[in-house]
Structure 1
Amino acid sequence: MLVITIENPALTAAGLLGDASSSSSSIRRRSRLDNVIFESLRAGNFLSAMVVLAPVSTFYRICKKKSTESFQSVPYVVGLFSATMWVYYGLLTSDVLLLTINIAVCFIEVIYLFIFLLYAPPKSRVTSLNKLLFIAHEQLGFVRLKISHFVFDSDIYDEADSIDQCGGLRLPNSRKQPLHQGEQKSSYYGRDMCFRHVIRTKSVEYMPFSLSFFLTLSAIAWLSYGVLLKDPFVAVPNVFGFLLGITQIIVYLIYMNYNKKDDIDAKIGSQELPEKKSNPEGEACECGQMAEV
C-alpha cells in the first residue's frame, strides 16, 4: 500500500507511476488473453458447425437412394447424447452461448436420426430406437435430480456421493464430473464402433473423412478454449477427442485404397478369364503333347 506524504513527494510520484504502469501492463495482458480466448471460442463454434453439417452429403445420398445402406446411426446418436449433456453443463454454468450452440446441434441431430429411421431396415431401426431410449432414460434421470434439488431444496449433488450418473465417478461436490465421464464414454463408444466397422469390412466408404477431420479440428479448438479458461471439464474430454480423431484419420488412410485394389484385381481377373476360355483346343494340344512326351 502506497502512503502519500509531503516529506517525500518524489518517491510518492514514482510509486504512483509504477503502480499505473504495472496495472496498465496487467490490463494489456488480460486483454490479449481475452482476445485469444474469444478467437478460440469463435474457432470452436465454427468447427462445431462444420462437424454438424459434415453428414449433409451422407443424408443426401440416403434420401436419394431411399436406403441407409451400411451407414450406422451410432455417430448421430452419440452426437445427440453429447449435445444434450453439454446443454446440461450450460444450465449448470449459466453459459448462454454454450446452451444455444448445443440446442441447435440437438435439433440438427434429431433431423438426421429421423431421416435415418425413415429409410433404415427394420433391424437397424430397432437398434437405433433402443439407443435413443437409452438417451431419453439418462436425460430423464438428470431432470429428476434437478427437480429434487430445486423443489425439495436438497443438496443432492453434495450429499449423495453414491450417485453414479452416466458413468460418472463417485466423488463428492461434483456437478460436472458425470458430464465429463459421460462425454468420454460416448466418444469411446462412437469411435470404437466406426473403427470396428472399417477394420471388419476393410472399407472406408461409410466413414466420411470430412466428419473425422472436422471432429479432430473441433477437439483442438475446444481443448485450447478449456486450457485458456482453466476448465478441465472442457479440456480433458477434448484431449481424448483429439487422440481418437487422429487415430480415426490414420485408420482412414490405411484402408482408403483397399476398395481400389479390389476393383483393379477384379478388372484384371475379368480380362484374363475370357483369354483362358477362348483357346481350349490349344490347352488340350499342349496337354496331349506333354502326355506323348
Structure 2
Amino acid sequence: MLSCALWVLYGMPMVTPNSLLVVTINVTGLTIEIFYLLIFSYFSPTPRKVKLGLWLIVEMVFVGIVATCTLLLFHTHDQRSAFVGIFCVIFVSLMYIAPLTIMRKVIKTKSVKYMPFTLSLGNFLNGVIWVLYARLKFDIFMLIGNGLGTISGAVQLIVYVCYYKTTPKDDDEQDENLSMANSQLQFSGIHGTS
C-alpha cells in the first residue's frame, strides 16, 4: 500500500508531469489494497485490527511528510521527482524482493509448496511491463525499481522450475485420505460394525 501511495504522489502533475498512467494504475492498486485490508480487518481479532490501524496511520503520516517536504523544499519538477522517486525505488524494491525471503525454505525443503507460481509469475510480468514503460518514458526511477522486480521475479521462476519436480505431490492428498479414513473409522465405530 505504501508503494502505491508513493507512486501516486510521484505521478502527480506537480511532481512528475505527464504521468497519468502511473497515477491511474496506482490509484487502482491502492483502492484494491484498501478493500483487501478492510475485509482482512473485518475478520481479524481486535489486537490485529489495532496493529493494522497503527501501521496504516504510520504509512499515511510518512506519505504526508514526503508530500509536504516535496512541495515545500523542492521547486522544480526534476528535484521533486528525484526526491519522491528515490522513496519509490526503495519501497517498490522491497515489495518485489519480499517473496524472495521464502526461497531459503524452498531450497532447504526442496519444495515449492510455500512459493506460489502465480505470485512469482505476476511479479515477473509486472516488472517487465513497467520496465518497458520506463524505457519508453526514459524514467530512471521506474526503471531501477521495476528492473530489480523483473530480476527478482526471474529468480523466483528459476527456483520454482528447479524445485518443482522435487515437491512432494501427495502431501495434500495424504492429509485428505487420512482425514477421510479417520472419519470412516469413527463412523464405523459408532455403529459397532467393522
Shorter-chain TM-score: what band?
0.5 to 0.7
Note the alpha carbon deviations across 1:134-191, whole angstroms, 9 max, x for none. 3112111034335x63xxxxxx1269xxxxxxxxxxxxx6322333332332234334
Matched letter for residue 253 of structure 1: V
Aligned ranges 1:126-205 → 2 under 5 Å: 127-145=51-69, 149=72, 156-157=73-74, 174-197=79-102, 199-200=104-105, 202=109, 204-205=112-113
- 1:179 maps to amino acid: V
Letter paired with 1:186: F
**Hey, what does 1:85 align to over in structure 2?**
6
Structure 1 CA distance for aligned equivalents of residues 105 and 2 of structure 2: 26
Distance 1:100 1:185 in 2: 21
Residues 212-261 of structure 1 deviation map (CA, whole Å, 9 limit, x = unaligned): 21221121122122223222122221111111111222333345456526
Instruction: Answer whether contact 2:97 2:149 (CA < 8 A) is retained.
Output: no
Does 2:29 correspond to 1:100? no
The amino acid of 1:89's aligned partner reads Y
TM-score normalised by structure 2 residue count? 0.67
Q: CA RMSD in A?
A: 3.3
Percent of aligned pairs sharing the same letter: 27
Q: Distance in 1 between the 2:69 and 2:16 partners? A: 16
Q: Structure 1-normalised TM-score?
A: 0.47
CA contact (8 A) 1:195 1:251 kept: no
Q: Which moved more, 1:205-214 or 1:101-110?
A: 205-214
- Please report how far the alpha carbon of residue 192 of structure 1 lies from its aligned counterpart in structure 2 after TM superposition: 4.4
Residue 246 and residue 175 in structure 1: after superposition, are their counterparts in 2 closer, same or farther (change >3 A)?
A: same
Structure 2: which 5+ runs fail to align? 179-194
Q: Distance in 2 between matches of 1:178 and 1:120?
A: 36
Indicate yes or no: 2:30 matched with 1:115.
no
Asked whether the 8 Å contact 2:16–2:80 carries over to 1, the reply is no
Point out the structure with max Rg over C-alpha: 1
Amino acid at match of 2:132: S
Shift of 1:123: 6.1
Moved over 6 A (4+): none
Q: For 2:168, what is the secondary structure of its paired residue? A: helix
| 1:16-55 equivalent positions in 2, closer than 5 A | none
Give distance in 2, aligned partners of 1:87 and 1:107.
12
